[in-house]
Amino acid sequence: MDDKAITLQVRLTQTVPIALDVQLQCGKGEMLALTGPSGSGKTTVLRCIAGLHRAANGMVKCNDQVWQDRQGKTFIGAQQRRVGLVFQQYALFPHLNVLQNVAIALSHVKGQDKKTKAMHWLSLTNMSGMHDKRPAQLSGGQRQRVALARALAREPDVLLLDEPFSAVDQLTREKLYRELALIRSNLNIPMILVTHDMLEVQQLADSLCLIHHGKTLQSGSINDVMRKPETARIARLLGHKNIYTANLNANKQLHVLGTRIDIHQQTALGTGPVSVLIEPSAIIMHRNDRPSNGERENPLSTQVNEMVAMGEDWLLKLDVLGTNEQISFRVSRHVAARNNIETNGKLKVSILSEGIHLMPAAQATSPLP
Ligand code: ADP
Ligand code: MG
């Protein structure tokens, strides 16, 4: 069988206790990011996959096993599903030490092998030296490493990670990203990572499923979903900032941000009002130390409205002069310093036509979130 073949297939529909209309699939060795606002049903979806919640109508298939069928005949309980789960809160047993917390997941292993195996999983998550500590003696990051070791110790067919990094500090989080990336390269099972951190999605996941109010809005590869959201609402939910209402004329010229931009890409949209997403990579700053590639294309005059520090970068909010619109983009601090970027200063940017994505005009009846 093809290694990348779809291994986990999930379809869930129900109306109570919360409405669900979710479809997702994940292949071997694939990390799927399940994302959406708080309360959109992400944890409920994981619980359905783990067998902790039974959706009124659903199909959950893993490898060739049916865990739940649509006819309502089959429902395999959580204990019988080989699922590794890591929660946002560590969920370790406080009265057991680290080794015992992992060994508890090794019910399928007998005797002395149990300890050997538990130590193996702890070494994989860089926790070997800590095996006799209690959870209370560990940092947040260390507890999540133990939780991951315990999830892996079941030798699961599916790994489910529910916002595993949200309770640890930024520095630890980045360490955990690297460790998870290393571990996952040896895991040939479907993995689902619940997160609303789009940076995390881009660093760790291969594919993305966006849900909102319990409904799948769009899914696919990270690149496709991030660059080609189907609607302005989806673009906003994905964290995109530069979304505008614009007008497309019969000559495939887009009137946006007070200028006209020639659109070269194919579009199924007719002339008239459209929604527009400008990708961050399509915004080019004109530099005063040397010309930037592409700066002749669609130049705009702006004024810096706001500068917010984001790690090594500034997040700039620019007022586009002559319009009521703004553009956001990131620039590294050293480039900003070299180009004397400051609040209220003037700045020229260019918009590359190839980084413009057109979507249907937002409906007045469905306001943006
Ligand atoms: P997310 O993980 O995306 O934040 P959840 O799946 O935890 O969302 O929850 C979605 C919504 O369903 C929330 O409003 C939550 O309060 C509600 N909810 C979750 N489980 C139940 C339940 N068993 N009964 C009633 N409401 C629930
Ligand atoms: Mg949740």
Separation of 23 CA from ligand 1 center, angstroms? 18
Closest ligand 1 atom number to CA of residue 211: 3
Examine the pLDDT at 364 and tell me if it is beyond 80: no
Atom 13 of ligand 1, residue of closest alpha carbon:
39
Helix locations, the chain, DSSP H: 42-50, 98-103, 112-124, 140-153, 170-184, 198-204, 222-227, 232-237, 333-338
Q: How high is the pLDDT of residue 110?
A: 87
Per-residue pLDDT tens over the stretch 207-248: 999 999 999 999 999 999 999 999 999 999 999 999 999 999
Per-residue pLDDT tens over the stretch 144-173: 999 999 999 999 999 999 999 888 888 888
Per-residue pLDDT tens over the stretch 57-66: 999 999 989 9
Task: For ligand 1, pick from 16, 43, 44 the residue to mutate: most ligand atoms within 8 Å of CB.
Answer: 44
Does the CB atom of residue 16 touch ligand 1 within 6 A?
no
Does the CB atom of residue 38 touch ligand 1 within 6 A?
yes
Examine the pLDDT at 330 and tell me if it is beyond 80: yes
Q: Which ligand places an atom closest to the C-alpha of 36?
A: 1
CATH (residue range 3-236): 3.40.50.300
Q: How confident is the model at residue 3 (pLDDT cuts 50, 70, 90)?
A: very low
Q: How confident is the model at residue 1 (pLDDT cuts 50, 70, 90)?
A: very low
Q: How high is the pLDDT of residue 291?
A: 83
Percent of the chain with pLDDT over 70: 96
Atom 19 of ligand 1, residue of closest alpha carbon:
44
Per DSSP, the residues of 139-179 read: -HHHHHHHHHHHHHHT--SEEEEESTTTTS-HHHHHHHHHH
Lowest mean pLDDT among 291-300, 310-319, 321-330: 291-300
Separation of 55 CA from ligand 2 center, angstroms? 16
Q: How high is the pLDDT of residue 277?
A: 97
Examine the pLDDT at 30 and tell me if it is beyond 90: yes
Mean pLDDT of the residues in the chain: 92
Lowest mean pLDDT among 11-15, 168-172, 311-315: 168-172
pTM of the model: 0.90
Buried b or exposed e, range 135-169, using 16+ CB within 10 angstroms: beebebbbbbbbbbbbbbbbebbbbbbbbbbebbe
Atom 16 of ligand 1, residue of closest alpha carbon:
39
Q: How confident is the model at residue 196 (pLDDT cuts 50, 70, 90)?
A: confident
Per-residue pLDDT tens over the stretch 72-99: 899 999 999 999 999 887 689 999 999 9
Separation of 347 CA from ligand 2 center, angstroms? 41
Q: How confident is the model at residue 280 (pLDDT cuts 50, 70, 90)?
A: confident
Q: Which ligand places an atom closest to the C-alpha of 35?
A: 1
Does the CB atom of residue 337 touch ligand 1 within 6 A?
no
CATH topology classification for 243-360: OB fold (Dihydrolipoamide Acetyltransferase, E2P) (2.40.50)
Separation of 162 CA from ligand 2 center, angstroms? 7
Q: How far apart are CA 343 and CA 345, in angstroms?
A: 5
Kindly tell me the burial class for residue 310, based on how many C-beta atoms sit within 10 Å of its own C-beta (0-12, 13-18, 19 or more).
exposed
Q: How confident is the model at residue 365 (pLDDT cuts 50, 70, 90)?
A: low
- Domain positions in the chain are 3-236, 243-360
Residue 276: count other Cβ atoms within 10 Å of its Cβ. Answer: 23
